[in-house]
């Protein structure tokens, strides 16, 4: 419930999964679920303000606003203290998806993983309406020695056009393959994925390829090199993204971990946004009993403007319970 009305959402989707052994030490997994979803909303006109909604940026570098039907024009992102107001298009972008809005952290911006953000916005409940339809998920995966592959499909088939008032019909299909090979102390991983996302007839295609080469190069010393390329088509502004990273980690003893990293990132959206930048940093974690002291330093440079750079120092103290 909310100040201008309320909504009810019911979903029943029983499922099952099975895993079978294959020759050569392989495994085959199959999973499926089918059910029904029903959403009813009763509301009156008017905007409902949301203030200081708290989010912590995770490894996915994205999060959803908690309320449905948020007005993108009213979204304001600030730092934990409110002193920094982040800039849309530079620090983040908004991605509407049905009745939800996702906040996507942009790689060239000032927001980093682990940052706490406060979000202000208004959401405008729609008039009284209902949506219902069948939902289904199924897929399979197979792994044999160094090879793995998977297939997934996620469907929502709405009963009629009126059901599209609150829910979006969707059809997501994902296919991926991967290779993993170990040569002594060196491990190589290669993977590729193709995903089709269809919302009420609007189709988006995403192609992703990535690889990681990791090695134990000495006592307590490990190194990894990774790369990733992604293309997104079907949106108003096509997105291309690529990155390459180097990570070195040294663990001289059980209490101390030291690290160094560097990388190059490139992304292009449409015909106007084209960014290339590089960065690197150092890290240290010290365990003393149940306490862990962590220090991180990062610096980034932009190719288009060599004088433009960002420096970030993070000190963290945590305790295990």
State pLDDT tens for residues 274-294: 788 899 999 999 998 889 999
Sign of the alpha-carbon dihedral angle for 230, 232, 233, 237: negative
Question: Mean of the pLDDT values across residues 151-176?
Answer: 81
pLDDT in tens, 305-318: 667 788 889 998 98
Contact predicate 247/236, CB 8 Å: no
Weakest mean pLDDT among 107-116, 141-150, 210-219: 107-116
What pLDDT does 250 receive? 95
pTM of the full predicted structure?
0.62
Residue 37 vs residues 5, 134, 178: alpha-carbon distances, Å: 20, 6, 34
Percent of the chain with pLDDT over 90: 49
Dihedral pair phi/psi, residue 2, rounded to 5°: -150, 170
Read off the pLDDT of each residue in 212-236 and give the average, rounded to a whole number.
89
Q: Which pLDDT value is given to residue 127?
A: 63
DSSP state of 185: T
Q: Write down the pLDDT at residue 126.
A: 65
| 257-268 pLDDT per residue, tens | 999 999 999 988
pLDDT of residue 6: 72
Per residue in 178-208, pLDDT (tens digit) is: 999 999 899 999 999 999 988 777 788 999 9
What whole-number distance in Å separates Cα of residue 107 and Cα of residue 232?
A: 16
CA angle 1, 127, 166 (to 5 degrees): 80
Q: How far is residue 119's CA from residue 126's CA, in Å, rounded to a whole number?
A: 22
Nearest residue to 32 via CA among 50, 17, 42: 17
Q: E-strand spans in 168-220?
A: 170-183, 186-199, 202-218
In the block, tokens 């107001």 appear at 85
The CA-atom distances, in angstroms, between 2 and each of 110, 262, 291 are 33, 47, 42
pLDDT at 224: 96
- CB burial readout 18-56, b (16+ within 10 A) else e: eeeeeeeeeeeeeeeeeeebbbebebeeeebebeebebe
């Amino acid at each position: 419930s909310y100040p201008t009305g309320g909504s009810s959402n019911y979903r029943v989707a029983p499922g099952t999964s099975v895993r079978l052994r294959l020759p050569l030490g392989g495994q085959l997994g199959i999973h499926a679920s089918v059910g029904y979803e029903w959403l009813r909303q009763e509301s009156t006109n008017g905007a409902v303000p949301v203030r200081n909604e708290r989010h912590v940026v995770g490894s996915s570098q994205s999060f959803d606003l908690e309320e449905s039907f948020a007005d993108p024009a009213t979204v304001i992102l600030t730092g934990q203290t409110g002193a920094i107001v982040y800039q849309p298009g530079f620090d983040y972008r908004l991605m509407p998806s049905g009745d939800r809005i996702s906040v996507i952290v942009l790689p060239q911006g000032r927001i980093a993983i682990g940052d706490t953000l406060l979000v202000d916005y208004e959401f405008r409940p729609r008039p009284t309406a209902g949506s219902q339809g069948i939902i289904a998920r199924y897929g399979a995966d197979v792994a044999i020695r160094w090879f793995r592959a998977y297939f997934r499909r996620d469907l929502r088939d709405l009963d009629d056009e009126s059901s599209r008032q609150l829910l979006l019909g969707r059809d997501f299909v994902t296919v991926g393959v991967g290779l993993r090979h170990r040569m002594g102390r060196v491990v190589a991983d290669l993977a590729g994925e193709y995903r089709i996302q269809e919302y009420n007839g609007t189709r988006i295609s995403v192609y992703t390829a990535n690889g990681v080469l990791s090695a134990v190069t000495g006592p307590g010393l490990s190194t990894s090199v990774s790369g990733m390329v992604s293309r997104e088509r079907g949106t108003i502004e096509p997105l291309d993204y690529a990155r390459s990273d180097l990570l070195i980690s040294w663990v001289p003893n059980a209490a101390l971990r030291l690290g160094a990293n560097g990388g190059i990132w490139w992304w292009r959206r449409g015909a106007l946004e084209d960014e290339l930048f590089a960065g690197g940093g150092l890290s240290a974690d010290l365990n003393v009993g149940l306490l862990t002291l962590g220090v991180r330093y990062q610096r980034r440079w932009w190719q288009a403007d060599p004088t433009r750079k960002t420096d970030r120092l993070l000190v963290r103290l945590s305790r295990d319970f």
